């Protein structure tokens, strides 16, 4: 007889791990017990040596699909003479470290339950089991047990209790287990809600991580009304489709995209849309892609039918404020938008938006990391000090580190208003408690005006580490790819504060976690009126043309659309150097070219012009424009000159857009080649918001690989500023 204790760490709670252990222990005829611990799961098994060996094999190989074992320690104990195997109640919380599971989309078996007229959960919108359902959004504290969730106010009925206590049941220790008798309820019958949606109304629907605003995506008038009321002039709305067939009716879906759409995380997937599908044009004006997700809770599944196949499901908020999650705040904050409400009485402890991903370069790439991902830890493959990194300004996330992990927060949003700041602070307080993190340093961006920087400065008694924006971008890419040695970092980005006080964004770095050298950058151009130049890409086009042609700017067609007085003001700024910041931004260069092509002179949201430039770029065009590299400065004036010339010759915009993308990829190859020759570095990390552009990312990747580089992209955190906090965290954790 032998006895072994096994301690497993990772994602082992809330994913059906204890019933799994119970089952395999019994299969191998072993005695002992299994329990959740704050650090993961602890098991003791006793039996003959061969059976224990087979048990350990199964333990490693057959773990539930949603589990993730990061660490497993086995020790020998003296036999205790146990005769049966039991599941023990969870122990209390101590100072150890546990990973908290994210929310998981409804599983196929639960869907079977609530669609079966004979099942006691028929049409019950809060059906869940050990393999699916709410987790992070309802957890108040760890260990993850019902009394520490917002389900604590719903005592289970006898039947649910029986399932909960039966190790052979799929709902054994499913903490949010519920049924129509004992569980949460909707305040309006679903039939009525479907009727209102069919009638063209906008409904605020309380879901898993907050409210959505929903309307029928095929009802043009309803979508337009939502757009007007939400004051979201052009920013695309996400859609939720009834099933995969409906997604495929409106979009082109690849095999990989299908897997992501139907996976347990159920993010919004950015897909190429098909023309003429009946979806309102107002869903995503001027865009040839569209974000679509499948239902991820029973409530969402049950919204469809009766002629409703596809719904707009946009975050329930006003412009850039955080998503609304409490019943009582909904009327005040969404009253001007929603015609009616669908709420329920299950509390949302933590607000979590839908995640957004795009599939390219062979895998899923996160654009917004929230539901289904947060608060999953990212294994860094190296020990780290405990730090807090507060992130950037736009698309803010923060990040905690501990042990071997980085734990990024869910998407917080643009830190530009009081509500978002509150969301930041409440989430930070919550996550620090969950993960028992006591930061020894706080990392922040160098930009003195960022609210996140000011939050860091307000924390007394803790050393601060300022991290340059693009160094953080590249470090984030290094961290998730487990790179530690020096790399070449290509940061193509919108805006980031440089060490010279200028706006950086077309950067070539040589860096590791300890520091960076700026080895190349796009030649500076003036941004007339600072941030106003971000909202008005024509200002960047004019600046580039003046840089290229001096006073003799060619009269391209787009200039005719600019009121003379406004143009004169900007020309005066550019000529006099008044209200000017210099920028090397790649995002602003994309803006300038989009404006030159007449695609977009003014934007409604960050990156809009660049998205439209990508959208029009013709396939199959591979010839770059000439450019010059002068020391560290990459001179794009020859590119602008050629584009101006081609526009005058009547070369079609899509061809120019394609050649421009090729040019940026060619610049990456050229400059990385020079750095390789000087430093013998082969590894290249690509990061920055501009790499959300699939065409650019794929062309840079392919060209660099062709030239013998080892190229790394983001997958787990966004290339945009949502990934900054991870980079800041590893840099600060690495600082002495
Ligand atoms: Zn389930
Ligand atoms: Zn019940
Ligand atoms: Zn950035």
Give the CATH number, domain containing residue 10: 3.30.70.100
Cα separation, 256 vs 71, in Å, equals 29
The answer to whether 396 and 413 have CB atoms below 8 angstroms apart is yes
Q: Which one of the ligands is nearest to 719 CA?
A: 3
CA of 225 to the centre of ligand 3 (A): 33
The answer to whether 617 and 658 have CB atoms below 8 angstroms apart is yes
The answer to whether 662 and 622 have CB atoms below 8 angstroms apart is yes
Q: Domain containing 152 — which CATH number?
A: 3.90.870.30
The secondary structure of 2-35 as a DSSP string is: EEEEEEEEEE-SSSSHHHHHHHHHHHTT-EEEEE
Q: How many domains does the chain have?
A: 5
Q: Tell me: the pLDDT tens digits for 624-637?
A: 999 999 989 999 99
Q: List the one residue out of 646, 666, 642 whose CA is nearest residue 654.
A: 646
Pairing of strands 289-293, 239-241: parallel
Q: Which one of the ligands is nearest to 182 CA?
A: 2
pLDDT of residue 92: 53
Terminal alpha carbon distance of the chain: 50
CA of 304 to the centre of ligand 2 (A): 25
Q: Which one of the ligands is nearest to 170 CA?
A: 1
CA of 532 to the centre of ligand 3 (A): 18
Give the residue-averaged pLDDT of 38-45. Answer: 85
CA of 192 to the centre of ligand 3 (A): 45
Q: Which one of the ligands is nearest to 174 CA?
A: 1
Q: Which residue has the tokens 């015609």?
A: 339
Tokens of 614: 């990508």
Same domain membership, residue 626 and residue 675: yes
CA of 63 to the centre of ligand 1 (A): 17
Question: Residue 480 in 3-state DSSP?
Answer: helix
Same domain membership, residue 252 and residue 199: yes
Same domain membership, residue 628 and residue 536: yes
Q: Tell me: the pLDDT tens digits for 289-316?
A: 999 999 999 999 999 998 999 999 999 9
The dihedral over CA atoms of 392, 398, 401, 406, expressed in degrees to the nearest 10, equals -90
CA of 174 to the centre of ligand 3 (A): 40
Q: Which one of the ligands is nearest to 470 CA?
A: 3
Tokens of 452: 């996140």
CA of 350 to the centre of ligand 3 (A): 26
Higher pLDDT, 287 or 695: 695
Q: Domain containing 405 — which CATH number?
A: 3.30.420.360
Give the H/E segment covering residue 85: strand 85-87
Same domain membership, residue 244 and residue 311: yes
CA of 265 to the centre of ligand 1 (A): 13
Q: Which one of the ligands is nearest to 121 CA?
A: 2
pLDDT at 186 over 50: yes
CA of 294 to the centre of ligand 1 (A): 16
Same domain membership, residue 558 and residue 638: yes
Same domain membership, residue 677 and residue 545: yes
CA of 180 to the centre of ligand 2 (A): 6
Q: For residue 67, name the pLDDT band (cuts at 50, 70, 90).
A: confident
pLDDT of residue 99: 72
Burial of 469 (0-12, 13-18, 19+ CB in 10 A): buried
Same domain membership, residue 333 and residue 203: yes
Residue 507 lies in a domain: no
Cα separation, 527 vs 533, in Å, equals 6
Q: Which one of the ligands is nearest to 447 CA?
A: 3
Residue 509 lies in a domain: no
Residue 473 lies in a domain: yes
Same domain membership, residue 294 and residue 378: no
Q: Which one of the ligands is nearest to 66 CA?
A: 1
Q: Which one of the ligands is nearest to 129 CA?
A: 1
The answer to whether 489 and 507 have CB atoms below 8 angstroms apart is yes
CA of 590 to the centre of ligand 3 (A): 15
The answer to whether 48 and 4 have CB atoms below 8 angstroms apart is no
- The count of residues in the chain is 736
CA of 472 to the centre of ligand 3 (A): 9
Give the residue-averaged pLDDT of 96-121. Answer: 91
The answer to whether 508 and 671 have CB atoms below 8 angstroms apart is yes
Question: Residue 357 in 3-state DSSP?
Answer: strand
CA of 187 to the centre of ligand 2 (A): 18
pTM for the structure as a whole = 0.93
Q: Which one of the ligands is nearest to 181 CA?
A: 2
Tokens of 133: 């359902």
Give the residue-averaged pLDDT of 602-613. Answer: 89
CA of 492 to the centre of ligand 3 (A): 8
Instruction: Count Cβ atoms below 10 Å from residue 499 Cβ, excluding itself.
Output: 13
Q: Which one of the ligands is nearest to 133 CA?
A: 1
**Is the peptide bond between 140 and the residue preceding it cis, with omega within 30 degrees of 0?**
no
pLDDT of residue 597: 97
Q: Which one of the ligands is nearest to 131 CA?
A: 1
Give the residue-averaged pLDDT of 452-470. Answer: 96
Per the prediction, the chain carries an average pLDDT of: 94
Residue 729 lies in a domain: yes
pLDDT at 223 over 60: yes
Q: Which one of the ligands is nearest to 160 CA?
A: 2
Q: Tell me: the pLDDT tens digits for 246-274?
A: 999 999 999 999 999 999 899 999 999 99
Structural domain boundaries enclosing 72:
2-87
Q: Which residue has the tokens 């329930």?
A: 316
CA of 663 to the centre of ligand 3 (A): 21
Q: Tell me: the pLDDT tens digits for 364-388?
A: 999 999 999 999 889 898 999 999 9
Same domain membership, residue 623 and residue 533: yes
Same domain membership, residue 524 and residue 634: yes
Higher pLDDT, 13 or 466: 466
Same domain membership, residue 353 and residue 401: no
Residue 675 lies in a domain: yes
CA of 128 to the centre of ligand 1 (A): 5
Question: What b/e readout covers 502-521, taking b as 16+ CB neighbours within 10 angstroms?
Answer: bbbbbbbbbbbbeebebbbb
The answer to whether 398 and 408 have CB atoms below 8 angstroms apart is yes
Q: Tell me: the pLDDT tens digits for 118-169?
A: 999 999 999 999 889 999 999 998 878 899 999 999 999 999 999 999 888 9
pLDDT of residue 95: 45
The answer to whether 360 and 387 have CB atoms below 8 angstroms apart is no
CA of 679 to the centre of ligand 3 (A): 26
- Residue 192, phi then psi, degrees to nearest 5: -65, -40
Q: List the one residue out of 706, 708, 736, 688 whose CA is nearest residue 477.
A: 688
Give the residue-averaged pLDDT of 711-721. Answer: 97
Q: Which one of the ligands is nearest to 183 CA?
A: 2
Give the residue-averaged pLDDT of 701-730. Answer: 98
pLDDT of residue 96: 58
Residue 485 lies in a domain: no
Beta bridge partners, 617, equal none
CA of 163 to the centre of ligand 2 (A): 9
Same domain membership, residue 298 and residue 224: yes
Q: Which one of the ligands is nearest to 477 CA?
A: 3
Q: Which one of the ligands is nearest to 164 CA?
A: 2
Residue ranges near ligand 2 (ion) with Cβ within 5 Å: 157, 160, 179, 181-182
Q: For residue 38, name the pLDDT band (cuts at 50, 70, 90).
A: low
The dihedral over CA atoms of 266, 269, 274, 278, expressed in degrees to the nearest 10, equals 60
Give the residue-averaged pLDDT of 661-674. Answer: 98
Q: Which one of the ligands is nearest to 493 CA?
A: 3
pLDDT at 90 over 90: no
Last residue of a domain, one of 61, 87, 113: 87
pLDDT at 215 over 50: yes
Residue 506 lies in a domain: no
Q: Which one of the ligands is nearest to 177 CA?
A: 2
- CA gyration radius, the chain: 27
The answer to whether 411 and 353 have CB atoms below 8 angstroms apart is yes
CA of 177 to the centre of ligand 2 (A): 7
CA of 130 to the centre of ligand 2 (A): 15
Q: Tell me: the pLDDT tens digits for 574-588?
A: 999 888 999 999 999
Residue 30 lies in a domain: yes
Q: Which one of the ligands is nearest to 120 CA?
A: 2
Residue ranges near ligand 1 (ion) with Cβ within 5 Å: 107, 110, 129, 131-132
Q: List the one residue out of 408, 483, 404 whose CA is nearest residue 10.
A: 404
% of the chain at pLDDT higher than 70:
98
């Amino acid at each position: 007889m032998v006895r072994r204790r096994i301690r497993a760490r990772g994602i082992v709670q809330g994913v059906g791990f204890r019933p799994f252990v119970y089952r395999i222990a019994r299969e191998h005829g072993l005695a002992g017990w299994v329990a959740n611990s704050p650090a993961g799961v602890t098991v003791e098994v006793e039996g003959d040596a061969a059976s224990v060996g087979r048990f350990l094999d199964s333990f490693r190989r057959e773990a539930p699909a949603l589990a993730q074992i990061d660490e497993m320690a086995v020790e020998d104990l003296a036999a205790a003479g146990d005769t049966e195997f039991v599941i023990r109640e969870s122990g209390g919380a101590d100072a150890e470290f546990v990973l908290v599971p994210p929310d998981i989309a409804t599983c196929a078996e639960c869907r079977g339950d609530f669609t079966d007229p004979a099942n006691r959960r028929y049409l019950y919108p809060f059906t869940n089991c050990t393999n699916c359902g709410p987790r992070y959004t309802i957890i108040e504290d760890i260990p993850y047990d019902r009394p520490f969730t917002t389900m604590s106010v719903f005592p289970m009925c006898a039947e649910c209790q029986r399932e909960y206590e039966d190790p052979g049941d799929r709902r054994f220790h499913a903490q949010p287990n519920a049924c129509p008798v004992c569980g949460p309820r909707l305040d309006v019958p679903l039939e009525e809600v479907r009727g209102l949606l069919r009638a063209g109304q906008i409904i605020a629907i309380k879901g898993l991580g907050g409210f959505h605003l929903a309307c029928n995506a095929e009802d043009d008038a309803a979508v337009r009304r939502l757009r007007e009321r939400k004051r979201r002039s052009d920013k695309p709305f996400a859609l939720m489709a009834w099933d995969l067939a409906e997604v495929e009716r409106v979009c082109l879906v690849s095999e990989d995209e299908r897997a992501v759409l139907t996976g347990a995380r159920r993010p919004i997937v950015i897909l190429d849309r098909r023309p003429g599908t009946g979806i309102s044009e107002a869903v995503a004006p001027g865009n040839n892609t569209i974000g679509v997700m499948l239902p991820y809770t029973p409530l969402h599944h049950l919204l469809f039918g009766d002629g409703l196949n596809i719904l707009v499901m946009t975050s329930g908020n006003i412009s850039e404020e955080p998503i609304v999650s409490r019943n009582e705040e909904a009327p005040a904050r969404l009253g001007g938008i929603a015609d009616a409400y669908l709420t329920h009485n299950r509390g949302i402890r933590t607000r979590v938006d839908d995640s957004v991903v795009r599939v390219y370069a062979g895998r899923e790439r996160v654009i917004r990391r929230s539901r289904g991902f947060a608060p999953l830890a990212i294994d860094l493959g190296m020990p780290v000090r405990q730090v807090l990194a507060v992130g950037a300004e736009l698309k803010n996330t923060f990040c905690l580190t501990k042990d071997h992990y980085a734990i990024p927060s869910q998407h917080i949003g643009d830190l530009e208003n009081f509500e978002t700041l509150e969301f930041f602070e409440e989430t930070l307080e919550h996550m620090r408690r969950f993960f028992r993190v006591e930061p020894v340093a706080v990392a922040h961006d160098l930009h003195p005006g960022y609210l996140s920087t000011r939050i860091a400065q307000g924390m007394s008694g803790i050393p601060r580490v300022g991290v340059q924006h693009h160094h953080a971008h590249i470090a984030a890419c290094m961290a998730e790819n487990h790179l530690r040695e020096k790399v070449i970092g290509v940061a193509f980005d919108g805006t980031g504060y440089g060490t010279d006080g200028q706006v950086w964004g077309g950067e070539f770095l040589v860096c590791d976690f300890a520091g960076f050298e700026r080895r190349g950058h796009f030649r500076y151009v003036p941004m007339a009126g600072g941030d106003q130049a971000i909202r008005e890409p024509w200002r960047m086009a004019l600046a580039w043309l003046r840089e290229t042609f001096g006073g003799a700017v060619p009269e391209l067609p787009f200039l005719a659309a600019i009121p003379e007085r406004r143009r004169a003001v900007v020309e005066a700024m550019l000529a006099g150097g008044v209200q000017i910041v210099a920028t090397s931004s790649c995002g602003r260069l994309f803006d300038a070219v989009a404006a030159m092509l007449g695609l977009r002179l003014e934007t409604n949201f960050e990156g809009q012009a660049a998205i439209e430039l990508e959208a029009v770029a013709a396939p199959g065009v591979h010839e770059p424009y000439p450019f010059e590299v002068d020391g560290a400065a990459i001179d794009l004036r020859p590119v602008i000159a050629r584009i101006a010339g081609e526009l005058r010759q009547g070369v079609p915009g899509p061809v120019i857009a394609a050649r421009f993308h090729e040019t940026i990829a060619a610049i990456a190859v050229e400059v990385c080649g020079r750095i390789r020759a000087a430093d013998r570095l082969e590894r290249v990390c690509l990061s920055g918001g501009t790499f959300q552009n699939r065409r650019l990312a794929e062309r840079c990747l392919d060209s660099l690989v062709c030239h013998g580089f080892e190229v790394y992209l983001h997958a787990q955190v966004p290339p945009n500023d949502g990934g900054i906090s991870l980079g800041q965290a590893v840099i600060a954790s690495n600082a002495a």
